[in-house]
Amino acid sequence: MPRSLYIPLSMVCVLLTITLSRAVQAAGSACNAPPLSHTGTRVANVTTEPQLQSAVTNGNVAKALEFRFGTTGSEAKNNLTDAPLGARDGATFAQSNNYLAATPAMFVNPARADLHLLDTDATRASVIGRGVVLSAVRDDMDGNARPAGAGYTSGADELRSPPPSGGARALRRSASGRWFYDPGLGKSLFLTGVYTAGGDYAPAQDNFWCNQNTPHGGLAIDNAFQDRFNHNYIRFWTMESTASTECASNVTMPMVFARSQSCCAADGGNLFDLDTLDGSYFAKLKSTLNMLPPGRHASVMLFEGAGNQDKDFWFYSPMNQTNNINTDQGTVDMSTVHKTVAQGNSSYIWGRQKAYVERLVRELSEYNNIIYEIANEDGNGSIEWQQAVAEVIRAADTANPHLIGMSFRWLTGNNPELYSSNADWIAPILDPSASEAGDGRKTVVFEGDHSASVNNKKPSAEEVWRLFMRGYHVSVLAYHLPLPMEPVLMSMGRAAYFANKRFADLDAMIPQSGGASPASTGYCLSNTGVEYLVFQPGTGDVVVDLPAGAYHYEWHTADGGSPAAPTPVEKRAITSSGGSQTFSQPEGANILYIVKRGG
C-alpha cells in the first residue's frame, strides 16, 4: 500500500513513481539514472519544497515533480508543491487537485525539512481537506490514517483537526480531587509520561535552548514511544528568552512576541515588538497538539519562570528593554517580570502578558486534552502573580474551562503556598519514598524535574509505584532518570494499565498509607470489598484485610512484559470469611491485584 511522503530539495531530481501496488521507486538524485518506464502510475499526496532549501538545487528547480521515460496513463493528485508538475522524454500524465503554491509559512520547519502542516488560515483555505478521496492512499507520512476529516488533505501530512468540544468537555478534577476526570469517557484518569530536553517538549518553538546537551538528547518522545510504554501524558514547555550566553548561537524561535523591522536584539535578530503577538507561535503549538492521538494529554506551559532568575537568559529576553522597540514599559528587570502591578511589575508589562494569555486561551479553547501550567519553577516571580494569571485564564476560558496548574517556585517557594493557591492542580516538591497519601485538596502531579533539581530525588521504578499508591500522577524529565530508563518507564505504563483499564472506578480507589492501609506493606489503593492494588517494595508474604466474599487475585511484575497488556505471574481464586488474608509472593512479582468475583 502506498504511503504519503515529502521530498526535500535534495531529492527533487529523482525519477519518482508511486503505483497502486508499489511504494516509492527512486533512481538517481543527479538525474543520471537508467530509464524506467511505467504505465498507469499514480503520484499522490506528495509534498515537495524545491525552493525552500535553495542550497541544493540539482539543476532542476523549475518542476517539483516530473514524469519521464515514456511513462503514460499516469495521474498526479492531491500533491502539495511550490512549483509546477511536468513531463518530458515522451511521458504523459493527468493532474488534478494539486496545490502548487505552497509557502514556507505553511510548514512547521521547512529549513529542517520538517514539512508537517501548520493549522493556519492559508492551509485551511487551500490544503486541509481540499484533496479527493484516494482509496489506495490510506495513511500519511507518519502512518496516521487518512482522511482525518471529511476530505483528504493535500500533501504528505494529514493534519488532524482538534476534537470537537461538544460543550465543556475538557479534563476536570475527579470527585475525590485526586485524579483527573475525562467527561468524554465518563471516567477518572491517572496521567503519566516522560519528556526530554529537546524540541519534542517545546512544541511551539525550534532550537530549544541547549537541547542537544543531555545524555538523553537522542530520545524522541513521539506517539510510537508513548504507545510502547503505555504513557498518556506529556509536559509541553516554552522559553521566554531566545538564548543564553552558554547557547548564544542556538536561537530559540518563535517567541510569543513578534520581531519588528528594526535591528538589533542581543541574539542578532531584529528587535521585538511587545505589542504584536507572533501568530506562528500559536500555529506551531496547535499543529503539535493536533498530532496527539485520542487518549493522549498534555500540559501547556505559559511562562518559563526558571530562566528569569538567570541574568544570562535575561540578556536575551524580549522583555529586556534593550531587545524591544517599546519605550513606555517603565523600569523592568528580571526580578519583576513575573510580579503583579502591586509588587512592582510595570502595568504595561502586565497588560502585554495578559494579552498573550487571553490569545492563547482563545486559540486552545477547543482542545479537551490539555491542562495549563502557569510557569516552571518561577523563583523570582510570585505566587500572587501566578494567581492573577490563573484568574485571567478563567475569565477568558468560560466556554470550555481547562484546569490550571502551579509548580514549585525554585528555591524560594514552598508546598503550603501551592495547596492554598487558586490552582486546580499542583506540582510540589515530593519525596517519592516518604510522601503521605494525597488528601484531594489538590490534584497532585509528581514532576521529577522539580524534585530531582531540589533534593536530587530521581524516581526509580519502585518510587513510581510508591507515588501512584499515594494518589499522585507521575511526570518525569528523561535526563533525571537513572540509566537504563526502561524499568521506570515500564512501571509508569503498568500503573496506567491498572488505573485506566483494570479498575472499575479509579476514583473509588482510596490511597491508604502506613497503619491505615488494609495491606501489610502500607502501599495500597482500595475500594473496600471490591478492588485492591497492593505494592510490595520488598520480599515476603502480603497480608490484606478482606471483607467476607469470593475474590480473584493476580500477581504481576512492576516493570516487566508489556505495560499495556501484562501477563500475570500467578492468578488464583480465594474465599475470605472476613479479616486478614495472606498472599504468598511468587518470585519476581511485587504487584498484587485483588478483585471481587464478578468484578
Q: What is the dihedral of CA 10, 47, 196, 357, to 10 degrees?
A: 130
Q: Which of 43, 21, 32 is nearest to 91 (CA)?
A: 43
Q: How far is CA 8 from CA 96, 100, 570, in A?
A: 22, 15, 53
- 12-24 exposure pattern, b = at least 16 Cβ within 10 A, e = fewer: bbbbbbbbeeeeb
Q: What is the pLDDT along the chain (599 residues), one digit of tens a residue?
A: 343 443 333 333 222 322 222 222 222 222 233 333 334 444 555 555 433 322 222 344 577 778 877 777 778 888 888 888 888 878 888 888 888 888 888 877 676 566 777 777 788 778 887 777 776 776 777 666 677 655 678 888 876 555 444 456 899 999 999 999 999 889 999 999 988 755 456 778 877 666 543 433 344 667 888 899 999 999 998 888 898 777 667 788 899 999 999 999 999 999 999 999 999 999 989 988 888 888 999 999 999 887 766 667 888 889 888 999 987 766 666 677 777 665 656 667 888 899 999 999 999 999 999 999 999 888 767 888 999 999 999 999 999 999 999 999 877 788 999 999 999 999 998 877 766 788 999 999 998 887 765 555 567 889 899 999 999 999 988 777 766 788 999 999 999 999 999 999 999 999 976 668 899 999 999 999 999 999 999 999 999 999 999 999 999 998 888 898 899 999 999 999 999 999 999 999 999 999 998 75
Fill in the DSSP letter of residue 485: -
CA of residue 502 relative to chain centroid, distance: 25
Q: State residue 201's pLDDT score.
A: 65
Query: In this predicted structure, what is the pLDDT of residue 167?
Result: 55
* C-alpha cell at position 501: 483499564
Domain spans in the chain, listed from the N-terminal domain onward: 5-126, 181-247+278-501, 510-596
How many angstroms separate the first and last alpha carbons of the chain? 43
Which amino acid is present at 66?
A: E
Q: Report domain 181-247+278-501's class.
A: alpha beta
What is the SS3 assignment for 188-254?
EECCEEEECCCHHHCCCCECCCCCCCCCCCCCCCCHHHHHHHCCCEEEECCCCCCCCCCCCCCCCEC
Identity of the amino acid at 310: D
Burial zone of 160 (CB within 10 Å; 0-12 exposed, 13-18 middle, 19+ buried): buried
Q: Taking the alpha carbons of 425, 431, 433, 435 in that order, is the dihedral positive or negative?
A: negative
What distance in Å separates the CA atoms of residue 134 and residue 333, rounded to the nearest whole number? 57
The predicted pLDDT at position 239 comes to: 87
Quote the cell numbers at residue 20.
497502486
In angstroms and rounded to an integer, the radius of gyration of the C-alpha atoms of the chain is: 27
**What's the pLDDT at 118?**
78
Q: How far apart are CA 423 and CA 444, in angstroms?
A: 11
d(CA 350, CA 393): 14
pLDDT value of residue 379: 76
Q: Are 76 and 95 in contact, with CB atoms under 8 Å apart? A: yes
